[in-house]
């Protein structure tokens, strides 16, 4: 495998955290559909909960999230009131009290909530859902906002997993993305988290940022290893300034090209594997005894809007502006503008702005794509049988993989597709062969590598 392939397959494809992907949601799905879908859920199955806090105190120029910059706490406090009301509105529409085993807080910066906010919100959640005693309660953390007292409050509220945003430790790279975060700030927060019992730590790193080089990315991984995270996510910077206007502040001339991005990913990945981490899917790495690596070994890894997960719940309820939920009937996404979100919830309705109802074909393709993204392999006939479809289909899709086979990215064994190890960075391209929406859609995605 040479960098030449990265250059030849320089295409823009979705990251497949869902299928169909969010750009294909439509406003044909609204609050009434969501209410009906909630009412039809099976209360014997545990569900997962996601909470979106769309505020930050400064804008990182690489950011791809839905967030708003605030300098005061007041808008956050008002938003939290609405979010708590949304929990009540959604719970009221469920046919029973449901067990919940995974709670995830993302943003934005959830760590802009106060310690008292955490206590109160988790109390309200526990009042409406049976949160298992061993439930995973995960929070995305910006180490720049955090004190030791705050970490103590998080632990007291029940948080037991933290995802720490780092991106890169290099000061020049940090300056170019407007994220000043000295290594010692991150190190201190890691120490506090472990001291107060929040021992499950993920670390988010990036390649493809302005001024990054292979040597700098290797140095970034070395520094990350000194903090001994259980999991590392190694994301490629997605430069989409037509969707995220603040990315125009990034100097495009300082961005690595596709071949250099491929070299950076390969170098960082090799260093993590040499340090004993297991490569998980497209862009995650986990210690061999971590639940993510264990799930991978058992074929039980999953992918949802937060990325790779051991969470196998069939239902993910999303709370907050722009939050996405996944139900057996389809996907729902709340409206994004904060005013519209608040108006809907305060008016006693749900805030669903768009979504998609899943067809049988969508479900079948969603599972093929999820298995490819997780296991880097799928047996088409096994999945087809599971979905009550006839074996032997997907001739067009398989034919579409011919160039990837010729280039050693995938191998076919009967009706089983498997990525080669060298083909791992191209898994999104293989998944895209099964995406019928991609052919017709107008959405522009990030680069495949
Ligand atoms: S802290 Fe996170 S969500 Fe906020 S601007 Fe930076 S990257 Fe985006």
Map out the domains of the chain as residue ranges. Answer: 1-10+359-440, 21-319
Is omega for the bond preceding 206 within 30 degrees of 0, making it cis? no
The C-alpha atoms of residue 236 and residue 246 are separated, in whole angstroms, by 18
Closest to 365 (Cα-Cα) out of 331, 397, 403: 397
Asked if residues 173 and 237 have their Cβ atoms less than 8 Å apart, the reply is no
Three-state DSSP at 80 gives: helix
Tokens 């209360």 -> residue? 43
Asked if residues 325 and 317 have their Cβ atoms less than 8 Å apart, the reply is yes
DSSP letter, residue 217: H
Note the pLDDT of residue 449: 65
Q: Domain 1-10+359-440: which topology?
A: Arc Repressor Mutant, subunit A (1.10.10)
Asked if residues 9 and 449 have their Cβ atoms less than 8 Å apart, the reply is yes
The C-alpha atoms of residue 19 and residue 435 are separated, in whole angstroms, by 8
Exposed, middle or buried by CB within 10 Å (0-12, 13-18, 19+), for 5? buried
Name the residue at shortest CA distance from atom 7 of ligand 1: 63
Probe residue for ligand 1, chosen from 107, 237, 249 as the CB with the greatest number of ligand atoms within 8 Å: 107
- Ligand 1, atom nearest to 63 Cα: 8
Closest to 107 (Cα-Cα) out of 63, 148, 150: 63
Note the pLDDT of residue 9: 80
Note the pLDDT of residue 440: 61
Probe residue for ligand 1, chosen from 58, 61, 63 as the CB with the greatest number of ligand atoms within 8 Å: 63
The C-alpha atoms of residue 26 and residue 23 are separated, in whole angstroms, by 8
Three-state DSSP at 442 gives: coil
Asked if residues 434 and 369 have their Cβ atoms less than 8 Å apart, the reply is yes
Asked if residues 401 and 394 have their Cβ atoms less than 8 Å apart, the reply is no
pLDDT along the chain (449 residues), means of 10: 74 90 96 98 93 96 92 96 98 96 95 96 97 95 93 96 96 97 97 96 97 98 98 94 94 94 95 97 96 96 93 95 97 98 98 98 97 97 94 92 95 95 92 89 58
Note the pLDDT of residue 360: 96
Instruction: From residue 283, give the alpha-carbon distance in Å to each of 53, 64, 279, 397.
Output: 24, 17, 8, 24
Instruction: From residue 394, give the alpha-carbon distance in Å to each of 139, 362, 391, 436.
Output: 40, 13, 9, 11
Asked if residues 316 and 329 have their Cβ atoms less than 8 Å apart, the reply is no
Probe residue for ligand 1, chosen from 54, 58, 65 as the CB with the greatest number of ligand atoms within 8 Å: 65
- Ligand 1, atom nearest to 167 Cα: 7
The C-alpha atoms of residue 432 and residue 369 are separated, in whole angstroms, by 8
The C-alpha atoms of residue 20 and residue 438 are separated, in whole angstroms, by 9
Note the pLDDT of residue 11: 77
* Chain center to CA of 360: 25
DSSP letter, residue 245: G
The C-alpha atoms of residue 424 and residue 446 are separated, in whole angstroms, by 17
Distance (Å) from CA 147 to ligand 1 centroid: 18
Asked if residues 237 and 252 have their Cβ atoms less than 8 Å apart, the reply is no
Tokens 């296991």 -> residue? 375
Note the pLDDT of residue 422: 87
Instruction: From residue 117, give the alpha-carbon distance in Å to each of 164, 197, 363.
Output: 20, 20, 38
C-alpha torsion 139→117→130→140, nearest 10: -10
Name the residue at shortest CA distance from atom 2 of ligand 1: 108
DSSP letter, residue 25: -
Three-state DSSP at 212 gives: coil
Note the pLDDT of residue 7: 77
Closest to 303 (Cα-Cα) out of 18, 3, 5, 104: 18
Asked if residues 189 and 146 have their Cβ atoms less than 8 Å apart, the reply is yes
Three-state DSSP at 107 gives: strand
Tokens 């997907």 -> residue? 394
- Ligand 1, atom nearest to 165 Cα: 2
| CATH label, 21-319, candidates 3.80.30.20, 3.40.50.2000, 3.30.420.40, 1.25.40.10 | 3.80.30.20
Pocket of ligand 1 (CB under 6 A): 56, 59-60, 63, 65, 67, 107-109, 142, 165
The β-bridge partners of 205 are 167, 234
Note the pLDDT of residue 47: 95
Tokens 């107060």 -> residue? 196
Cα torsion angle, 152, 157, 163, 165, sign: negative
Name the residue at shortest CA distance from atom 6 of ligand 1: 60
The tokens of 156 are what? 């007291």
Name the residue at shortest CA distance from atom 3 of ligand 1: 108
Closest to 362 (Cα-Cα) out of 15, 20, 10: 20
- Ligand 1, atom nearest to 59 Cα: 5
């Amino acid at each position: 495998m040479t960098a030449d392939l990265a250059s030849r397959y320089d295409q823009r494809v979705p990251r497949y955290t869902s299928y169909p992907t969010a750009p294909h949601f439509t406003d044909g799905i609204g609050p009434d559909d969501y209410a009906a879908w909630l009412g039809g859920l099976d209360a014997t199955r545990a569900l997962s909960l996601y909470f979106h806090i769309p505020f930050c105190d400064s804008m990182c120029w690489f950011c791809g999230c839905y967030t708003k910059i605030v300098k005061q706490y007041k808008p956050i406090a008002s938003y939290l009131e609405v979010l708590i009301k949304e929990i009540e509105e959604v719970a009221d529409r469920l046919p029973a009290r449901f067990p919940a085993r995974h709670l995830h807080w993302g943003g934005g910066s959830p760590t802009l909530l106060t310690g008292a906010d955490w206590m109160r919100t988790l109390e309200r959640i526990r009042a409406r859902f049976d949160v298992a005693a061993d439930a995973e309660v995960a929070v995305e953390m910006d180490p720049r906002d955090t004190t030791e007292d705050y970490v103590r409050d998080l632990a007291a509220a029940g948080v037991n997993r933290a995802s720490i945003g780092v991106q890169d430790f290099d000061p020049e790279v940090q300056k170019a993305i407007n994220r000043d975060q000295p290594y010692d700030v991150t190190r201190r927060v890691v120490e506090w988290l472990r001291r107060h019992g929040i021992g499950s730590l993920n670390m988010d790193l990036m390649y493809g940022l302005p001024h990054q080089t292979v040597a700098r990315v290797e140095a970034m991984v070395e520094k990350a290893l000194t903090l001994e995270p259980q999991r590392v996510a190694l994301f490629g910077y997605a430069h989409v300034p037509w969707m995220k206007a603040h990315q125009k502040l990034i100097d495009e001339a300082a961005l690595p090209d596709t071949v250099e991005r491929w070299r950076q990913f390969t170098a960082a990945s090799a260093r993590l594997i040499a340090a004993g981490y297991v490569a998980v899917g497209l862009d995650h790495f986990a210690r061999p005894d971590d639940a993510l690596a264990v799930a991978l070994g058992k074929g039980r890894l999953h992918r949802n809007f937060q990325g790779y997960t051991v969470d196998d719940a069939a239902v993910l309820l999303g709370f907050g502006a722009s939050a996405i939920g996944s139900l057996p009937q389809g996907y729902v996404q709340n409206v994004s503008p904060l005013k519209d979100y608040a108006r809907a919830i305060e008016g006693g309705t749900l805030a669903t702005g768009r979504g998609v109802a899943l067809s049988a074909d969508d479900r079948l393709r969603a599972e093929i794509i999820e298995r490819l993204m997780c296991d880097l392999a799928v047996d088409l006939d096994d999945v087809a049988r599971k979905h009550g479809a006839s074996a032997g289909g997907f001739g067009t899709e398989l034919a579409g993989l011919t160039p990837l086979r010729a280039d050693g990215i995938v191998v076919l064994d009967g009706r089983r597709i498997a990525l080669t190890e060298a083909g791992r960075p191209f898994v999104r391209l293989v998944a895209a062969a099964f995406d019928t929406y991609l052919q017709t859609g107008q959405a522009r995605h990030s680069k495949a590598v």
